[in-house]
Amino acid sequence: DAGVIQSPRHEVTEMGQEVTLRCKPISGHNSLFWYRQTMMRGLELLIYFNNNVPIDDSGMPEDRFSAKMPNASFSTLKIQPSEPRDSAVYFCASSLRAGDQPQHFGDGTRLSIL
């Protein structure tokens, strides 16, 4: 069975550029989560959706970050403009239901902002 699919796997771009990260959750999962992982801060939840609706975006660092889920099979995380401190690994995860079901993670996008 296909797991959570993220693209691209790696992204290197210059500061000031727009970055778009993509995620396809597991079919049938109703909740989708975006995380950021760094050596300094570990794994941080940025935002999550239930049934395509954003529920909690309190982890989004600044207005430069935005996330959408136009349908049940696709989500994007956008950074505009990007800054070097945004460099991290970004993970998408999905679950049948938020809170009491396992979240299944993709393999992440390693983002480097020069």
Partner 1 sequence: GESVGLHLPTLSVQEGDNSIINCAYSNSASDYFIWYKQESGKGPQFIIDIRSNMDKRQGQRVTVLLNKTVKHLSLQIAATQPGDSAVYFCAENGNTDKLIFGTGTRLQVFP
- Return residues touching partner 1 (CB under 8 A): 4, 31, 38-43, 45, 48, 50, 55-56, 91, 93, 98-100, 102-108
- Nearer to partner 1 among residue 18 and residue 24 (C-beta): 24
Whether 16 and 35 have beta carbons less than 8 Å apart is answered as no
**Residue 30's closest CA among 96, 75, 74?**
96
- Nearer to partner 1 among residue 12 and residue 43 (C-beta): 43
d(CA 93, CA 29): 10
Least spacing, CB of residue 100 vs partner 1, in Å: 5
- Nearer to partner 1 among residue 41 and residue 70 (C-beta): 41
d(CA 91, CA 58): 17
